Amino acid sequence: MIRLASPRNPLTLAATVASLTCAPGVLWAQTPSPAAPDPAAADTLSTVTVTAQPLGSEAERTDQRDSYRARRSSSATGLSLSNRETPQSLSTLTRQQLDDQGLRTVNDAMAAAPGVTVEKVETDRTYFTARGFDIENFQLNGTGLPFTNGSLWGDVDTIVYDHIDVLRGANGLLTGDGMPSATVNFVTKKPTVAPKASVGVSVGSRHARRLEGDASGALNADGSVRGRIVGATDDRDGHLDRNHKSLNTLYTALEVDLGPRTTLSLSWLEQESKAKGPLWGALPTTYSDGTATQYDSSTSTAADWTWWNNKERRLSAELSHELGDGWRVNSVLSHRGQRTDSELLYVFGSPVAGSNTGLYAYPSAFKGSYKQEMASVQASGPFSLAGRQHELSMGLNWGRESAKEASAYADYSGSAYTALNVDLANWDGSFTKPEFGDATDGSDFQTHRLGAFAAARFNVADSLKLITGARLMRLNSDGENYGVAHHYSTTRATPYVGAVWSLTPELSAYGSYTTIFKPQTQVNAQLQVLTPASGHNTEVGLKSELLARKLELRAALFRTQLKGLANAGTWSSTLLKTVYEGEDADSQGVELEAVGRLGGGVEVSASYTHQDITNAQGEDTRTFVPRDMAKAGLRYQATDRLSTTAAVRWQSRIYRDDSGARTSQSAYALLDLGLQYQINQNWRAGGQLRNVTNQRYLNSLYWSQAYYGAPRSGELTVHYTF
């Protein structure tokens, strides 16, 4: 008797059976009938259990599993591979980890990601770094373009994501251009056949209120049409004076099986982030005499009339078709539109301690409109060569992005700024709102990208897999960016090679190499655009699976060499903009990671990163990036109903030198604790306590200004599932 073990998701079983029945090279073993059947032999036959395993994109889903460890990912090469089969450092924040640790925004999630630093330069503008360099490639379901201005504006809710992949190092195959830091791929939740729905309500410190919902299921009798709708509204005061935030998110997805081998997927994602009293810039870090400033954690430079709203919409259509013989083709069309509107106050200068002098106010009204259109087609499948089965993935990508920005300034007797005449330590935000429009500036530019890539995974031997490939990319840009020509045209090929060697059934070694090409939009003090940065990225490492393959250990050594990279930049009070210089940078280090189940009801995701970043003279550079980081997230299932969580993040000292003055942030650690209790089959309650030790720290020294991180806070949540 052959018994099929039922997986948790009936859709998984259906997909698996379909793939087994149509894939070539899969043979159903048949036992020849004996000439004279022996009735006694039938009584001695043992039971054979065949477990259906999800394939393709189904294997990459995490919302049906209670693990911190993903099974497979296609974020590195376009091929759906396990982590051990991927010759780069790849980490996944699963849906379970996002829920357990209350990682509700992208900033929260990236703070928990191995090797990633969240540079909160303002309340509503964030940069991210990995391996010493900015992360600019953020994708949605494997498709995306770098941020237009290199940073995330506003907040983004994680409620709509099944998981988040963080591929560290240069992604020469799928993105081509960009920093050798990381590529972050946000993978949205997919519709399910089985009906499921949940509602959650949260209340917490600083008037925090949140409502979220998630419903999914088949829309017809045979399950060939499936839908999902996910939404959340979040409203709370910030920890800074006069700061308030609201975040609204709505996501809908529809899947239609047009035939036994063809599926059409449509999705719509809309997010709106609104802020009152946001920072533009942050606090001065030194007094006029060079000593460090001392402010309360709640101190803000925002005037009481300031605001900043960001709205984003994404539309996507994907057509997936099984060609037969194991080949699959995916075509994607997507649109991303962003609008930003604000009235802000920038405060700069060096205050005189104990006085109201030394600071200047620079108000502005800013509007921006950004559009990105993308199209891609990708085919993947097996092929035979030299008596062995191999895999091939190839595709074409096209992208167009446009940006239109307008800044209006005040006119203070021919100047865009004036003396502030306040002591920030005692300021209530009172500052006369000016009439905007007397002086304007802005940008209007468009960029086109066309790329083609191919990657092959060669089965050289049973224990050795070689991945080779290349991407050819053409970039064109025209327009103007705040008085500077935004123009370049270039064609560049970025080769990639990687290898994975299985030393034992539980241990493998890997290595990879790719080149780097990074167009830049920053300008120098002469208002000339910096030339593109270039270099290469090398990585070697070990990956092992322990405890019946429930726990994975990873170790990586990496080195990145870049030439002509824009430095952190300095503010020019004459030009009223940040200017940059190109410099060479060499980053090398080690990453260690453990993820999975330890046993005894303990789930873990832990990492340690050490990195050295030097310039062409061998001196430390980009010193705002911590040289050492350690992160750990734990969940302990104490009973069938009760679980506890803990998350700790530690980083070493950082510093920044400006005009002979040094600003430092000592090493510090943040501790979060959580508790979840399953009341019955439908009801679940929990709580989160963040920054338990009430640690005081500066969020970032990415810029010459900084503000303090949030003090201790708590939140209670109730979920109902039906």
- Mean pLDDT over 166-171 rounds to 84
Q: Is 446 in contact with 408 (CB distance < 8 Å)?
A: no
HSE-CB for 70 with a 13 A CA cutoff: 32
In a domain, 327, yes or no: no
Least confident of 199-208, 335-344, 438-447, 631-640: 438-447
The answer on pLDDT for 413 being more than 70 is yes
Give the pLDDT score at 172. Answer: 59
Question: Which pair of tokens denotes residue 243?
Answer: 């700061």
Please tell me which of 179-188, 495-504, 567-576 the model is most confident about, judged by mean pLDDT.
495-504
In a domain, 328, yes or no: no
Least confident of 21-30, 87-96, 378-387: 21-30
Please tell me which of 218-232, 398-412, 516-530 the model is most confident about, judged by mean pLDDT.
218-232
Give the pLDDT score at 21. Answer: 31
In a domain, 331, yes or no: no
Cα–Cα distance for residue pair 383/392, rounded to 1 Å: 7
Cα–Cα distance for residue pair 433/214, rounded to 1 Å: 42
> Among 12, 32, 51, which residue terminates a domain?
51
Q: Are residues 46 and 165 in the same domain?
A: no
Residues in a beta bridge with 91: 166
Give the pLDDT score at 28. Answer: 30
In a domain, 306, yes or no: no
The answer on pLDDT for 269 being more than 90 is yes
What secondary structure letter does DSSP report for 641?
S
- DSSP count for the chain of H helices, then E strands: 5, 40
Q: Which percentage of the chain shows pLDDT scores above 70? A: 90
pLDDT in tens, 56-75: 567 788 887 889 999 888 88
Give the pLDDT score at 332. Answer: 95
Least confident of 339-353, 459-473, 519-533: 519-533
Give the pLDDT score at 46. Answer: 43
Residue with tokens 């903009």: 577
The answer on pLDDT for 284 being more than 50 is yes
Quick count: other Cβ atoms within 10 Å of Cβ 581?
15
Q: Is 68 in contact with 98 (CB distance < 8 Å)?
A: no
Radius of gyration of the chain (CA): 27
Q: Are residues 8 and 90 in the same domain?
A: no
For residue 626, CA distances in Å to 63, 151, 405 come to 33, 19, 34
Residues in the chain: 722
Give the pLDDT score at 51. Answer: 38
In a domain, 330, yes or no: no
What secondary structure letter does DSSP report for 41?
H
Q: Are residues 25 and 116 in the same domain?
A: no
SS (H, E, C) 281-296: CCEECECCCCCECCCC
Cα–Cα distance for residue pair 548/553, rounded to 1 Å: 13
The answer on pLDDT for 81 being more than 60 is yes
The answer on pLDDT for 199 being more than 50 is yes
pLDDT in tens, 101-110: 999 999 999 9
Q: Are residues 284 and 412 in the same domain?
A: yes
Q: Are residues 47 and 155 in the same domain?
A: no
The answer on pLDDT for 577 being more than 80 is no
Please give the mean pLDDT across all residues of the chain: 88
- Mean pLDDT over 631-642 rounds to 96
Q: Are residues 676 and 584 in the same domain?
A: yes
Q: Are residues 103 and 190 in the same domain?
A: yes
The answer on pLDDT for 522 being more than 90 is no
In a domain, 305, yes or no: no
Number of independent structural domains in the chain: 2
HSE-CB for 604 with a 13 A CA cutoff: 16
Give the pLDDT score at 580. Answer: 87
In a domain, 302, yes or no: no
Give the pLDDT score at 651. Answer: 98
> Among 51, 70, 92, which residue terminates a domain?
51
Q: Are residues 27 and 66 in the same domain?
A: no
Q: Are residues 427 and 560 in the same domain?
A: yes
Q: Are residues 181 and 41 in the same domain?
A: no
pLDDT tier for residue 371 given thresholds of 50, 70 and 90: very high
CATH number of domain containing 93:
2.40.170.20
pLDDT tier for residue 442 given thresholds of 50, 70 and 90: confident
- Mean pLDDT over 71-89 rounds to 86
Q: Is 310 in contact with 124 (CB distance < 8 Å)?
A: yes
Higher pLDDT among residues 375 and 148, named by residue: 375
Angle at CA of residue 714, ends 709 and 715, nearest 5°: 125
Closest by Cα among 670, 672, 720 to 695: 670
Cα–Cα distance for residue pair 103/128, rounded to 1 Å: 16
The answer on pLDDT for 31 being more than 50 is no
243 three-state secondary structure: coil
Give the pLDDT score at 57. Answer: 64
SS (H, E, C) 57-92: HHHHCCCCCCCCCCCCECCCCCCCECHHHCCCCEEE
Quick count: other Cβ atoms within 10 Å of Cβ 553?
17
pLDDT tier for residue 146 given thresholds of 50, 70 and 90: low
- Mean pLDDT over 329-337 rounds to 95
Question: Which pair of tokens denotes residue 171?
Answer: 């992604």
Higher pLDDT among residues 521 and 416, named by residue: 416
Give the pLDDT score at 145. Answer: 66
Cα–Cα distance for residue pair 559/569, rounded to 1 Å: 24
Give the pLDDT score at 136. Answer: 83
- Mean pLDDT over 664-677 rounds to 98
Residues in a beta bridge with 668: 651
Cα–Cα distance for residue pair 490/475, rounded to 1 Å: 5
The answer on pLDDT for 1 being more than 50 is no
For residue 319, CA distances in Å to 261, 270, 328, 615 come to 11, 22, 11, 46
Give the pLDDT score at 489. Answer: 84
Cα–Cα distance for residue pair 255/315, rounded to 1 Å: 14
Give the pLDDT score at 175. Answer: 59
Give the residue numbers spanning the domain of 464: 57-259+270-297+312-322+338-721
Q: Are residues 501 and 538 in the same domain?
A: yes
**What is this structure's pTM?**
0.88
- The H or E element containing residue 10 is helix 10-22
Q: Are residues 44 and 138 in the same domain?
A: no
In a domain, 373, yes or no: yes
